């Protein structure tokens, strides 16, 4: 057995400077780049196919957008913003935060904007990456930070292209379309659909929400922070820290209810059920009642949704859509719903990860072959057969409703550990073994039946095999597992 300590002491340490390519300048790519730079790994290039940083926060600009995790928690621990305007600050403010962090750390000069990596091949011991413009580059480490909610999912609805009005996916909002006073349909009742309903209800003429399945709603009011809140948090960094830690604590408690039955789960479920009872009209309440347990799908957080749904100009349509024609949507009962605009709040392909990038590991192993039965990873970050390749927010990364910023920081620190071992001359290449990956996935499968996500519902959480692709334990276990000294027996390590 080779241990880390024996290799470090037995070997003459030679400091090398690894070259690292990061794909994606969204939240997790920014986090990874800063983590490397702060540790003195300076040969870092970030490839971003769009023309700005921010990823999902750059792409999503729909009315009513906010994060469903409080801003004091959904931020980097190394770059805390004192003056968030709301408990759940608007999307534009979150995007401004990430662009500000990128600027503060001088990341822009390291980001190749407008550059899509279409192919990456392991050319032992380095990665050969190719851009859509045909340019090639080799690097020592390749890190995918392409995000989980990136590829919009367009519904297959007959006749959608025949519609005479505007059609847009929620993640590609068309701001040239004026919806004030217009007849608007929103298709989809996930977090996005719910936020758009709240964002549009007051200004449109008529809003119809087309619901395929009802959602449980956790009513957390989006409190505005007072004007002195920012200056106080700026003056007293301890307040900022308390804000972060307090939220983290709440989310860690909530996570216990997600991963095992008990009072925490019952409590949140009761709050959701009580919230539903605030809908006065029994028929509307019946239509809005889900046929699965609260929290089985990712909880939708909204204090205003039921109020919006009870407005005179808002209707819930729970009949299936048959087709779309020039004038609007036709439901299966044959009724034509005449419309000026259709919003597709139909979610994302949460299982694409770095694809359509063509990723090929050792001995020609393609990512599509490795993931034929669905995306699987080791400890959420590594892939067997793909040496010196790591992922942020890869498979099994969402830890319930926990802040992805915190998860990305943990993963970035773990990945940095391997890059430092390379820099110190301890390793040349590393990838988890197939056995360790399978063992880890078996452990997850074993833990899954305890979780609320396995209580019988469909959602973007589920993989091809019908099992949730989530971390089935608490967030602190994710932190502990990734921070622990790696067991070299779990890795195919080639020594320098
Ligand atoms: P979600 O949560 O995946 O929701 C997508 C919604 O769109 C959901 O209600 C779907 O119905 C509905 N949908 C999808 N396809 C269709 C078709 N063809 N017809 C009718 N309705 C359809 O995506 P979001 O963008 O709302 O949220 C994603 C995450 O972003 C969220 O969890 C937060 O973390 C932030 P279904 O429920 O499947 O019957």
pLDDT confidence of residue 4: 47
**284-320 per-position pLDDT tens digit:** 999 999 999 999 999 999 999 999 999 999 999 999 9
- Ligand 1 centroid to residue 201 C-alpha, Å: 19
Could you give the CA distance from residue 90 to residue 86 in angstroms, rounded to a whole number? 8
**205-261 per-position pLDDT tens digit:** 999 999 999 999 999 999 999 999 999 999 998 998 999 999 999 999 999 999 999
- Give bridge partners of residue 20 from the DSSP assignment: 44, 141
Report which of 92, 91, 93 is spatially closest to residue 83, judged by C-alpha positions: 93
Q: Is 354 in the pocket of ligand 1 (CB under 6 A)?
A: no
CA angle 302, 303, 308 (to 5 degrees): 90
| Mean pLDDT value of segment 402-431 | 97
Atom of ligand 1 nearest to the CA of 189: 9
**41-61 per-position pLDDT tens digit:** 999 999 999 999 999 999 999
Question: Ligand 1, residues 346, 350, 460, 468: which to mutate, most atoms within 8 A of Cβ?
Answer: 346
Q: Is 169 in the pocket of ligand 1 (CB under 6 A)?
A: no
pLDDT confidence of residue 14: 60
CATH number of 20-53+107-151+350-495: 3.50.50.60
pLDDT at 72 over 60: yes
**130-184 per-position pLDDT tens digit:** 999 999 999 999 999 999 999 999 999 999 999 999 999 999 999 999 999 999 9
- Ligand 1 centroid to residue 214 C-alpha, Å: 10
Up-side HSE of residue 288: CA atoms within 13 Å toward CB?
26
Q: Is 186 in the pocket of ligand 1 (CB under 6 A)?
A: no
- Ligand 1 centroid to residue 157 C-alpha, Å: 15
| Mean pLDDT value of segment 333-360 | 96
Q: Is 212 in the pocket of ligand 1 (CB under 6 A)?
A: yes
Task: Decide which of 11 and 181 is more confident.
Answer: 181
Q: What is the mean pLDDT of the chain?
A: 95
pLDDT at 5 over 70: no
8 Å CB contact between 284 and 449: no
- Ligand 1 centroid to residue 25 C-alpha, Å: 25
Report which of 439, 436, 441 is spatially closest to residue 470, judged by C-alpha positions: 441
| Mean pLDDT value of segment 344-349 | 97
**272-286 per-position pLDDT tens digit:** 999 999 999 999 999
pLDDT at 12 over 70: no
Atom of ligand 1 nearest to the CA of 191: 26
Report which of 124, 118, 176, 141 is spatially closest to residue 43, judged by C-alpha positions: 141
| Mean pLDDT value of segment 79-83 | 96
- Ligand 1 centroid to residue 190 C-alpha, Å: 5
pLDDT confidence of residue 136: 97
pLDDT confidence of residue 133: 96
8 Å CB contact between 145 and 22: yes
Instruction: Determine what percent of the chain is predicted with pLDDT higher than 90.
Output: 93
Q: Is 147 in the pocket of ligand 1 (CB under 6 A)?
A: no
- Ligand 1 centroid to residue 188 C-alpha, Å: 5
- Ligand 1 centroid to residue 432 C-alpha, Å: 34
Q: Is 68 in the pocket of ligand 1 (CB under 6 A)?
A: yes
Predicted structure pTM score = 0.95
pLDDT at 345 over 50: yes
Q: Give 464's pLDDT tier (boundaries 50, 70, 90).
A: confident
Q: Is 428 in the pocket of ligand 1 (CB under 6 A)?
A: no
pLDDT confidence of residue 9: 45
Instruction: Determine what percent of the chain is predicted with pLDDT higher than 70.
Output: 97
Residues counted in the chain:
496
8 Å CB contact between 52 and 58: yes
- Ligand 1 centroid to residue 106 C-alpha, Å: 36
Annotated domain spans of the chain: 20-53+107-151+350-495
Q: Whose CA is nearest to atom 10 of ligand 1?
A: 188
């Amino acid at each position: 057995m080779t241990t880390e300590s024996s290799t470090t002491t037995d070997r003459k340490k030679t400091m090398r400077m690894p070259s690292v390519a990061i794909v994606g300048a969204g939240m997790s790519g920014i986090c990874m780049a800063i983590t490397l730079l702060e540790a003195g790994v300076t040969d870092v290039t970030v490839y971003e196919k769009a023309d700005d940083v921010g990823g999902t926060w750059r792409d999503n600009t729909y009315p009513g957008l906010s994060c469903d995790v409080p801003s004091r928690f959904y931020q980097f621990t190394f770059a805390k913003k004192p003056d968030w305007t709301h408990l759940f600050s608007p999307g534009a403010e979150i995007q401004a935060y990430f662009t500000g962090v990128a600027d503060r750390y001088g990341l822009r000069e390291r980001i190749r904007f407008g550059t899509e990596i279409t192919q990456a091949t392991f050319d032992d011991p380095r990665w050969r990456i190719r851009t859509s413009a045909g340019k090639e580059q080799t690097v020592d480490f390749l890190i995918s930070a392409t995000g989980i909610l990136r590829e919009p999912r367009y519904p297959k609805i007959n006749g959608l292209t025949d519609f005479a009005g505007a059609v847009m996916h929620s993640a590609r909002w068309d701001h040239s379309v004026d919806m004030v006073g217009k007849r608007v349909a929103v298709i989809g009742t996930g977090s996005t659909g719910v936020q758009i309903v709240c964002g549009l209800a007051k200004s449109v003429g008529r809003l119809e929400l087309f619901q395929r399945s009802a959602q449980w709603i956790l009513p957390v009011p989006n409190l505005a922070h007072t004007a002195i809140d920012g200056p106080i948090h700026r003056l007293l960094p301890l307040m900022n820290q308390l804000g972060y830690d307090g939220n983290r604590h709440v989310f860690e408690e909530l996570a216990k209810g997600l991963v095992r039955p008990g009072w925490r789960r019952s409590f949140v479920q009761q709050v959701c059920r009580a919230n539903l009872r605030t809908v006065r009209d029994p028929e509307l309440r019946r239509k809005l009642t889900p046929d699965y347990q609260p929290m089985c799908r990712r909880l939708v957080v909204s204090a205003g949704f039921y109020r919006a749904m009870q407005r005179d100009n808002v209707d819930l349509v729970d009949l299936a859509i048959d087709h779309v024609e020039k004038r609007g949507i036709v439901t299966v009962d044959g009724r034509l719903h005449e419309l000026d605009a259709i919003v597709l709040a139909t979610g994302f392909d949460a299982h694409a990860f770095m694809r359509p990038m063509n990723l090929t590991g050792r001995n020609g192993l393609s990512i599509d072959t490795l993931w034929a039965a669905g995306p699987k990873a080791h400890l959420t970050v590594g892939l067997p057969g793909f040496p010196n390749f790591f992922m942020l927010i890869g498979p099994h990364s969402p830890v319930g409703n926990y802040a992805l910023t915190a998860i990305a920081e943990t993963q970035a620190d773990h990945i940095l550990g391997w890059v430092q071992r390379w820099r110190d001359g301890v390793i040349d290449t590393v990838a988890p073994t197939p056995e360790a990956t399978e063992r880890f996935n078996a452990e997850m499968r074993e833990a899954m039946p305890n979780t609320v996500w396995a209580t019988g519902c469909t959602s973007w959480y589920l993989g091809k095999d019908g099992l949730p692709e989530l971390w089935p334990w608490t967030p602190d276990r994710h932190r502990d597992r990734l921070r622990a000294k790696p067991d070299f027996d779990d890795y195919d390590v080639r020594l320098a």
